[in-house]
Structure 1
Amino acid sequence: MQYFSLDDINNLQHLYKINLINSCSGFKSANLIGTKSKDGIENVAVFSSVTHVGSNPPILSFFCRPTTVTRDTYENIKTTGTYTLNHVNESNFEDAHHTSAKYDSSISEFDKTNLISEYRENCFAPFVKDAPIQLEMKFVGEYNIKENGTILVLGEIQGLYINENIVTEDGFINLSEAKVAAINGLDGYTFPKLKERLTYQRPKS
Protein backbone atom coordinates (compact mmCIF):
# COMPACT_ATOMS: atom_id res chain seq x y z
CA MET A 1 0.00 0.00 0.00
CA GLN A 2 1.07 3.56 -0.65
CA TYR A 3 1.66 5.48 2.58
CA PHE A 4 1.38 9.22 3.24
CA SER A 5 2.53 10.60 6.59
CA LEU A 6 1.16 13.93 7.81
CA ASP A 7 4.44 15.54 6.74
CA ASP A 8 4.06 13.97 3.30
CA ILE A 9 0.51 15.30 3.03
CA ASN A 10 1.50 18.80 4.11
CA ASN A 11 4.24 18.88 1.46
CA LEU A 12 2.17 17.61 -1.44
CA GLN A 13 1.51 19.77 -4.49
CA HIS A 14 -1.62 21.83 -3.75
CA LEU A 15 -4.08 20.31 -6.24
CA TYR A 16 -2.83 16.75 -5.59
CA LYS A 17 -3.36 17.24 -1.86
CA ILE A 18 -6.88 18.64 -2.34
CA ASN A 19 -7.86 15.70 -4.56
CA LEU A 20 -6.30 13.15 -2.21
CA ILE A 21 -7.91 14.42 0.99
CA ASN A 22 -11.29 15.06 -0.63
CA SER A 23 -11.35 11.48 -1.91
CA CYS A 24 -10.08 9.57 1.12
CA SER A 25 -13.28 9.86 3.20
CA GLY A 26 -15.32 7.86 0.69
CA PHE A 27 -18.37 8.58 -1.45
CA LYS A 28 -20.36 11.70 -0.52
CA SER A 29 -23.90 12.85 -1.19
CA ALA A 30 -24.62 15.10 -4.16
CA ASN A 31 -27.19 17.80 -3.48
CA LEU A 32 -28.21 21.10 -4.99
CA ILE A 33 -29.06 23.72 -2.38
CA GLY A 34 -31.59 26.24 -3.61
CA THR A 35 -31.87 29.68 -2.01
CA LYS A 36 -33.16 33.13 -2.85
CA SER A 37 -31.88 36.48 -1.66
CA LYS A 38 -34.09 39.04 0.04
CA ASP A 39 -33.94 40.93 -3.27
CA GLY A 40 -35.41 37.95 -5.11
CA ILE A 41 -32.28 36.63 -6.85
CA GLU A 42 -32.33 32.84 -7.09
CA ASN A 43 -29.21 30.83 -6.27
CA VAL A 44 -28.43 27.15 -6.67
CA ALA A 45 -25.17 25.44 -5.73
CA VAL A 46 -23.88 21.88 -5.50
CA PHE A 47 -22.82 20.54 -2.08
CA SER A 48 -21.27 17.20 -1.16
CA SER A 49 -21.46 17.51 2.62
CA VAL A 50 -25.16 17.02 3.43
CA THR A 51 -25.54 14.50 6.28
CA HIS A 52 -28.28 13.08 8.50
CA VAL A 53 -28.12 14.43 12.08
CA GLY A 54 -31.30 13.00 13.60
CA SER A 55 -34.85 11.87 12.81
CA ASN A 56 -36.74 13.42 15.73
CA PRO A 57 -36.71 16.28 15.01
CA PRO A 58 -35.70 15.62 11.38
CA ILE A 59 -32.42 17.52 11.07
CA LEU A 60 -29.82 17.51 8.30
CA SER A 61 -26.54 19.38 8.17
CA PHE A 62 -24.04 20.63 5.64
CA PHE A 63 -20.70 22.38 5.80
CA CYS A 64 -20.14 25.90 4.45
CA ARG A 65 -16.61 26.93 3.57
CA PRO A 66 -15.06 29.93 5.42
CA THR A 67 -16.87 33.22 4.83
CA THR A 68 -13.67 35.13 4.06
CA VAL A 69 -15.33 35.67 0.67
CA THR A 70 -19.02 36.03 -0.17
CA ARG A 71 -20.95 32.76 0.15
CA ASP A 72 -24.34 33.39 -1.45
CA THR A 73 -25.91 30.17 -0.20
CA TYR A 74 -24.94 30.89 3.40
CA GLU A 75 -25.90 34.57 3.23
CA ASN A 76 -29.31 33.78 1.73
CA ILE A 77 -30.01 31.12 4.34
CA LYS A 78 -29.05 33.41 7.22
CA THR A 79 -31.12 36.25 5.76
CA THR A 80 -34.29 34.33 4.88
CA GLY A 81 -34.08 31.22 7.09
CA THR A 82 -35.22 29.01 4.22
CA TYR A 83 -33.54 26.76 1.66
CA THR A 84 -34.14 23.59 -0.32
CA LEU A 85 -32.16 20.38 -0.82
CA ASN A 86 -32.48 18.65 -4.17
CA HIS A 87 -30.83 15.34 -5.06
CA VAL A 88 -28.55 15.34 -8.08
CA ASN A 89 -29.16 12.49 -10.52
CA GLU A 90 -27.96 11.11 -13.81
CA SER A 91 -29.98 13.58 -15.87
CA ASN A 92 -28.56 16.78 -14.38
CA PHE A 93 -25.16 16.06 -12.81
CA GLU A 94 -23.18 18.05 -15.38
CA ASP A 95 -25.31 21.16 -14.88
CA ALA A 96 -25.20 20.56 -11.13
CA HIS A 97 -21.41 20.49 -11.22
CA HIS A 98 -21.31 23.77 -13.13
CA THR A 99 -23.04 25.54 -10.23
CA SER A 100 -19.69 25.31 -8.39
CA ALA A 101 -18.44 28.09 -10.69
CA LYS A 102 -18.03 31.42 -8.89
CA TYR A 103 -20.66 33.73 -10.35
CA ASP A 104 -21.39 37.21 -9.03
CA SER A 105 -24.21 37.44 -6.50
CA SER A 106 -26.37 39.24 -9.06
CA ILE A 107 -26.31 36.21 -11.39
CA SER A 108 -28.48 33.15 -10.88
CA GLU A 109 -26.97 29.76 -11.70
CA PHE A 110 -30.40 28.77 -12.99
CA ASP A 111 -29.76 31.22 -15.84
CA LYS A 112 -26.38 29.68 -16.65
CA THR A 113 -27.46 26.02 -16.74
CA ASN A 114 -30.38 23.91 -17.89
CA LEU A 115 -31.54 23.59 -14.28
CA ILE A 116 -35.05 24.96 -13.80
CA SER A 117 -36.40 26.46 -10.58
CA GLU A 118 -39.86 25.64 -9.31
CA TYR A 119 -41.87 26.64 -6.26
CA ARG A 120 -44.05 24.54 -3.97
CA GLU A 121 -46.66 25.59 -1.42
CA ASN A 122 -45.42 28.68 0.46
CA CYS A 123 -41.69 27.90 0.35
CA PHE A 124 -39.70 31.08 -0.34
CA ALA A 125 -36.68 29.25 -1.76
CA PRO A 126 -36.70 27.54 -5.17
CA PHE A 127 -36.61 23.79 -5.70
CA VAL A 128 -34.85 22.19 -8.66
CA LYS A 129 -37.47 20.94 -11.10
CA ASP A 130 -37.42 17.19 -11.78
CA ALA A 131 -35.12 16.38 -8.86
CA PRO A 132 -36.36 12.96 -7.63
CA ILE A 133 -36.14 14.08 -3.99
CA GLN A 134 -36.79 17.65 -2.86
CA LEU A 135 -36.66 18.90 0.72
CA GLU A 136 -37.88 22.18 2.15
CA MET A 137 -35.52 23.20 4.95
CA LYS A 138 -35.59 25.72 7.80
CA PHE A 139 -32.34 27.04 9.26
CA VAL A 140 -32.14 26.11 12.95
CA GLY A 141 -28.51 26.62 13.95
CA GLU A 142 -24.84 26.74 13.11
CA TYR A 143 -21.52 25.79 14.66
CA ASN A 144 -18.23 27.43 13.81
CA ILE A 145 -15.37 24.98 13.37
CA LYS A 146 -12.42 26.89 14.81
CA GLU A 147 -9.84 24.45 13.43
CA ASN A 148 -10.40 25.49 9.80
CA GLY A 149 -13.01 28.25 9.75
CA THR A 150 -15.80 26.18 8.20
CA ILE A 151 -19.41 26.44 9.41
CA LEU A 152 -21.68 23.49 10.15
CA VAL A 153 -25.21 24.56 9.20
CA LEU A 154 -28.19 22.71 10.69
CA GLY A 155 -31.63 22.66 9.11
CA GLU A 156 -34.94 21.05 9.99
CA ILE A 157 -37.02 19.36 7.29
CA GLN A 158 -40.29 21.24 6.76
CA GLY A 159 -41.50 19.30 3.75
CA LEU A 160 -40.36 16.29 1.76
CA TYR A 161 -41.26 15.56 -1.86
CA ILE A 162 -40.26 12.16 -3.28
CA ASN A 163 -41.01 10.39 -6.54
CA GLU A 164 -43.57 7.76 -5.53
CA ASN A 165 -41.90 4.83 -7.29
CA ILE A 166 -38.73 4.99 -5.16
CA VAL A 167 -40.35 4.79 -1.69
CA THR A 168 -40.80 1.24 -0.35
CA GLU A 169 -43.56 0.04 1.98
CA ASP A 170 -41.37 0.51 5.07
CA GLY A 171 -40.33 4.07 4.13
CA PHE A 172 -36.93 3.21 2.68
CA ILE A 173 -35.97 5.45 -0.26
CA ASN A 174 -34.27 3.45 -3.00
CA LEU A 175 -31.85 6.04 -4.33
CA SER A 176 -30.47 3.76 -7.02
CA GLU A 177 -33.91 3.50 -8.63
CA ALA A 178 -33.82 7.28 -9.11
CA LYS A 179 -30.23 7.15 -10.42
CA VAL A 180 -29.15 9.51 -7.66
CA ALA A 181 -25.51 10.60 -7.86
CA ALA A 182 -22.74 10.31 -5.32
CA ILE A 183 -19.51 12.30 -5.44
CA ASN A 184 -16.00 10.84 -5.30
CA GLY A 185 -13.66 13.63 -4.25
CA LEU A 186 -14.40 16.99 -5.84
CA ASP A 187 -15.38 16.12 -9.39
CA GLY A 188 -16.01 12.40 -9.73
CA TYR A 189 -19.68 11.45 -10.15
CA THR A 190 -20.97 7.91 -9.74
CA PHE A 191 -24.41 6.32 -9.68
CA PRO A 192 -24.49 3.52 -7.08
CA LYS A 193 -26.63 0.40 -7.41
CA LEU A 194 -28.35 -1.11 -4.37
CA LYS A 195 -26.78 -4.48 -3.55
CA GLU A 196 -28.80 -5.65 -0.55
CA ARG A 197 -30.67 -4.43 2.51
CA LEU A 198 -29.58 -6.21 5.69
CA THR A 199 -31.70 -6.78 8.80
CA TYR A 200 -31.30 -4.98 12.12
CA GLN A 201 -28.35 -6.60 13.89
CA ARG A 202 -28.27 -7.87 17.48
CA PRO A 203 -25.35 -9.28 19.48
CA LYS A 204 -24.62 -12.96 18.89
CA SER A 205 -25.23 -15.26 21.84
Structure 2
Amino acid sequence: MRLDGKSLAEMASRQRAALVNSLSGFKSANLIGTTAASSQDNLSIVSSVVHLGSHPPLLALVVRPGGDERHTLANILATQQYSINHVTHDIVEAAHQTAARYPQHISEFEATGLTPEWWPGFNAPLVSEASVKLAMQLREHQELAINGTHLVIGEVIGLEVPDQSINHDFSLDLIATGTTALSGLDSYHSVQLEKKMAYAKPDVPPRTVL
Protein backbone atom coordinates (compact mmCIF):
# COMPACT_ATOMS: atom_id res chain seq x y z
CA MET A 1 0.00 0.00 0.00
CA ARG A 2 1.25 3.46 -0.89
CA LEU A 3 -0.46 6.61 0.41
CA ASP A 4 0.13 10.24 -0.42
CA GLY A 5 -0.53 13.23 1.80
CA LYS A 6 -4.05 13.70 0.45
CA SER A 7 -4.93 10.08 1.18
CA LEU A 8 -3.66 10.41 4.75
CA ALA A 9 -5.63 13.61 5.30
CA GLU A 10 -8.83 11.94 4.07
CA MET A 11 -8.57 8.88 6.33
CA ALA A 12 -10.93 8.48 9.27
CA SER A 13 -9.30 10.16 12.25
CA ARG A 14 -8.94 7.03 14.38
CA GLN A 15 -7.47 5.04 11.49
CA ARG A 16 -5.04 7.86 10.68
CA ALA A 17 -3.99 8.14 14.32
CA ALA A 18 -3.40 4.39 14.57
CA LEU A 19 -1.32 4.34 11.39
CA VAL A 20 0.76 7.47 11.99
CA ASN A 21 1.45 6.53 15.61
CA SER A 22 3.00 3.30 14.32
CA LEU A 23 5.24 4.88 11.66
CA SER A 24 8.12 5.72 14.02
CA GLY A 25 8.60 2.04 14.86
CA PHE A 26 9.14 0.66 18.34
CA LYS A 27 9.13 3.30 21.07
CA SER A 28 9.88 3.42 24.76
CA ALA A 29 7.02 3.07 27.21
CA ASN A 30 7.38 5.28 30.27
CA LEU A 31 5.26 6.45 33.15
CA ILE A 32 5.55 10.14 34.02
CA GLY A 33 5.01 10.87 37.70
CA THR A 34 4.07 14.38 38.82
CA THR A 35 2.39 16.14 41.67
CA ALA A 36 0.23 19.26 41.60
CA ALA A 37 0.83 22.33 43.72
CA SER A 38 -2.07 20.99 45.83
CA SER A 39 -0.04 17.77 46.41
CA GLN A 40 -2.37 15.66 44.21
CA ASP A 41 -0.39 12.84 42.57
CA ASN A 42 -0.61 12.19 38.83
CA LEU A 43 0.71 9.39 36.63
CA SER A 44 0.51 9.09 32.85
CA ILE A 45 2.00 6.84 30.19
CA VAL A 46 3.96 8.37 27.31
CA SER A 47 5.85 6.95 24.33
CA SER A 48 7.78 10.07 23.33
CA VAL A 49 10.83 10.12 25.61
CA VAL A 50 14.04 10.68 23.60
CA HIS A 51 17.70 11.20 24.44
CA LEU A 52 18.99 14.74 23.81
CA GLY A 53 22.46 14.66 25.36
CA SER A 54 24.65 13.01 27.97
CA HIS A 55 26.49 15.96 29.53
CA PRO A 56 24.31 17.31 30.98
CA PRO A 57 22.05 14.23 30.85
CA LEU A 58 18.98 15.50 29.00
CA LEU A 59 15.80 13.71 27.97
CA ALA A 60 12.88 15.23 26.08
CA LEU A 61 9.25 14.23 25.96
CA VAL A 62 6.35 15.47 23.87
CA VAL A 63 3.00 16.28 25.46
CA ARG A 64 0.00 16.58 23.17
CA PRO A 65 -2.13 19.74 23.24
CA GLY A 66 -5.33 19.56 25.20
CA GLY A 67 -5.68 22.42 27.63
CA ASP A 68 -6.73 21.92 31.23
CA GLU A 69 -7.03 18.12 31.07
CA ARG A 70 -3.28 17.74 30.47
CA HIS A 71 -2.52 17.41 34.17
CA THR A 72 1.01 16.12 33.58
CA LEU A 73 2.15 19.23 31.74
CA ALA A 74 0.47 21.59 34.21
CA ASN A 75 2.13 19.82 37.12
CA ILE A 76 5.58 19.86 35.50
CA LEU A 77 5.34 23.58 34.79
CA ALA A 78 4.10 24.29 38.31
CA THR A 79 6.62 22.21 40.27
CA GLN A 80 9.53 21.99 37.77
CA GLN A 81 10.10 18.32 38.66
CA TYR A 82 8.80 14.96 37.43
CA SER A 83 9.81 11.32 37.22
CA ILE A 84 10.30 8.97 34.27
CA ASN A 85 9.73 5.28 35.01
CA HIS A 86 10.19 2.38 32.59
CA VAL A 87 7.14 0.23 31.99
CA THR A 88 8.02 -3.41 32.66
CA HIS A 89 6.22 -6.60 31.65
CA ASP A 90 4.49 -7.06 34.99
CA ILE A 91 2.87 -3.61 35.10
CA VAL A 92 1.74 -3.21 31.48
CA GLU A 93 -1.98 -3.38 32.30
CA ALA A 94 -1.78 -0.83 35.10
CA ALA A 95 0.51 1.43 33.08
CA HIS A 96 -1.80 1.39 30.07
CA GLN A 97 -4.78 2.25 32.26
CA THR A 98 -3.14 5.55 33.26
CA ALA A 99 -4.01 6.78 29.75
CA ALA A 100 -7.65 6.98 30.84
CA ARG A 101 -8.85 10.55 31.41
CA TYR A 102 -9.41 10.51 35.14
CA PRO A 103 -10.64 13.72 36.80
CA GLN A 104 -7.87 15.84 38.30
CA HIS A 105 -8.79 14.89 41.87
CA ILE A 106 -8.29 11.17 41.12
CA SER A 107 -4.76 9.82 41.52
CA GLU A 108 -3.80 7.35 38.79
CA PHE A 109 -1.64 5.63 41.39
CA GLU A 110 -4.72 4.80 43.42
CA ALA A 111 -6.87 4.07 40.37
CA THR A 112 -4.41 1.54 38.92
CA GLY A 113 -2.89 0.05 42.06
CA LEU A 114 0.62 1.35 41.41
CA THR A 115 2.64 2.65 44.35
CA PRO A 116 4.12 6.15 44.62
CA GLU A 117 7.69 6.28 45.89
CA TRP A 118 9.19 9.45 47.31
CA TRP A 119 12.89 10.35 47.42
CA PRO A 120 14.27 12.88 49.91
CA GLY A 121 14.50 16.36 48.41
CA PHE A 122 12.60 15.41 45.25
CA ASN A 123 9.06 16.69 44.83
CA ALA A 124 7.54 14.20 42.37
CA PRO A 125 6.45 10.59 42.90
CA LEU A 126 8.31 7.73 41.28
CA VAL A 127 6.76 4.33 40.56
CA SER A 128 7.85 1.82 43.18
CA GLU A 129 7.16 -1.16 40.88
CA ALA A 130 9.34 0.20 38.05
CA SER A 131 12.86 -1.21 37.66
CA VAL A 132 14.26 1.98 36.12
CA LYS A 133 13.38 5.26 37.84
CA LEU A 134 14.61 8.70 36.82
CA ALA A 135 14.26 11.92 38.79
CA MET A 136 13.93 14.84 36.37
CA GLN A 137 14.37 18.61 36.68
CA LEU A 138 12.65 20.76 34.05
CA ARG A 139 15.17 22.72 31.97
CA GLU A 140 13.17 23.97 28.99
CA HIS A 141 9.59 24.01 27.73
CA GLN A 142 8.44 24.97 24.25
CA GLU A 143 4.99 25.01 22.70
CA LEU A 144 5.47 24.02 19.07
CA ALA A 145 3.78 26.35 16.60
CA ILE A 146 3.28 23.62 13.99
CA ASN A 147 0.61 21.69 15.93
CA GLY A 148 0.42 23.01 19.48
CA THR A 149 2.25 20.08 21.09
CA HIS A 150 4.60 20.78 23.98
CA LEU A 151 8.29 19.86 24.06
CA VAL A 152 9.48 19.28 27.61
CA ILE A 153 13.23 18.99 28.19
CA GLY A 154 14.48 17.74 31.52
CA GLU A 155 17.80 16.91 33.17
CA VAL A 156 18.33 13.62 34.98
CA ILE A 157 19.19 14.60 38.56
CA GLY A 158 18.88 11.12 40.05
CA LEU A 159 18.32 7.54 38.96
CA GLU A 160 17.86 4.03 40.26
CA VAL A 161 18.46 0.87 38.22
CA PRO A 162 19.07 -2.77 39.19
CA ASP A 163 22.76 -3.47 39.84
CA GLN A 164 22.70 -6.49 37.52
CA SER A 165 21.41 -4.38 34.61
CA ILE A 166 24.62 -2.38 34.19
CA ASN A 167 26.83 -3.76 31.41
CA HIS A 168 30.63 -3.70 31.56
CA ASP A 169 30.64 -0.52 29.41
CA PHE A 170 28.02 1.03 31.73
CA SER A 171 25.23 0.84 29.17
CA LEU A 172 21.90 -0.30 30.55
CA ASP A 173 20.75 -3.85 29.77
CA LEU A 174 17.08 -3.27 28.99
CA ILE A 175 16.37 -6.99 28.85
CA ALA A 176 17.64 -7.39 32.41
CA THR A 177 15.41 -4.51 33.55
CA GLY A 178 12.33 -6.09 31.95
CA THR A 179 11.63 -2.91 29.99
CA THR A 180 8.91 -3.22 27.37
CA ALA A 181 8.68 -1.58 23.95
CA LEU A 182 5.54 0.09 22.60
CA SER A 183 4.23 0.35 19.06
CA GLY A 184 1.33 2.48 18.00
CA LEU A 185 -0.99 3.45 20.84
CA ASP A 186 -1.65 0.13 22.53
CA SER A 187 0.72 -2.69 21.54
CA TYR A 188 3.40 -3.76 24.04
CA HIS A 189 6.37 -5.94 23.08
CA SER A 190 9.04 -8.03 24.73
CA VAL A 191 12.54 -7.48 23.36
CA GLN A 192 15.60 -9.63 22.76
CA LEU A 193 19.17 -8.76 21.85
CA GLU A 194 20.01 -9.50 18.22
CA LYS A 195 23.63 -8.32 18.32
CA LYS A 196 25.84 -5.60 19.82
CA MET A 197 28.08 -3.76 17.39
CA ALA A 198 31.52 -2.24 17.96
CA TYR A 199 32.03 1.52 17.62
CA ALA A 200 31.85 2.36 13.91
CA LYS A 201 35.03 3.68 12.24
CA PRO A 202 35.46 4.62 8.57
CA ASP A 203 38.55 2.42 8.07
CA VAL A 204 37.24 -0.66 9.93
CA PRO A 205 34.47 -3.00 8.71
CA PRO A 206 31.42 -3.54 10.92
CA ARG A 207 32.25 -5.77 13.89
CA THR A 208 29.99 -7.70 16.23
CA VAL A 209 31.10 -7.64 19.86
CA LEU A 210 28.22 -9.66 21.30
- Shorter chain as denominator, the TM-score bin is over 0.9
> Which SS does the other structure have where 1:175 is aligned?
coil
Q: Retained in 2: the 8 A contact 1:174–1:194? A: no
Question: Which runs of 5 or more structure 1 residues have no equivalent in the other structure?
Answer: none
After alignment, is 82-91 or 171-180 more displaced? 171-180
Deviation for aligned residue 1:91: 0.5
| Alignment RMSD (CA, Å) | 1.1
Rounded to whole Å, the distance in 2 between the matches of 1:114 and 1:104 is 17
Aligned to 1:82: 81
Q: Name the amino acid aligned to 1:11.
A: E
Deviation for aligned residue 1:130: 2.3
Question: Which runs of 5 or more structure 2 residues have no equivalent in the other structure?
Answer: 205-210
1:136 is the counterpart of 2:140: no
Rounded to whole Å, the distance in 2 between the matches of 1:59 and 1:11 is 38
Deviation for aligned residue 1:56: 0.7
Rounded to whole Å, the distance in 2 between the matches of 1:15 and 1:130 is 32
Distance 1:39 1:69, change over 3 A: closer
Deviations 1:105-126, CA, capped at 9 Å, x for gaps = 1110011112111112221111
Once the two structures are superposed, the pairs formed by residues 1-205 of structure 1 within 5 Å of their partners are 2-204=1-203
Q: Name the amino acid aligned to 1:204.
A: D
Rounded to whole Å, the distance in 1 between the matches of 2:145 and 2:132 is 33
Q: Retained in 1: the 8 A contact 2:91–2:129? A: no
Q: Retained in 1: the 8 A contact 2:30–2:84? A: yes
Q: Tell me the number of residue pairs that the alignment of Structure 1 and Structure 2 aligns.
A: 204
After alignment, is 66-75 or 40-49 more displaced? 66-75
- Determine what percentage of the aligned residue pairs are the same residue: 36
Report the TM-score, using the length of structure 2 for normalisation: 0.94
Rounded to whole Å, the distance in 1 between the matches of 2:173 and 2:67 is 38
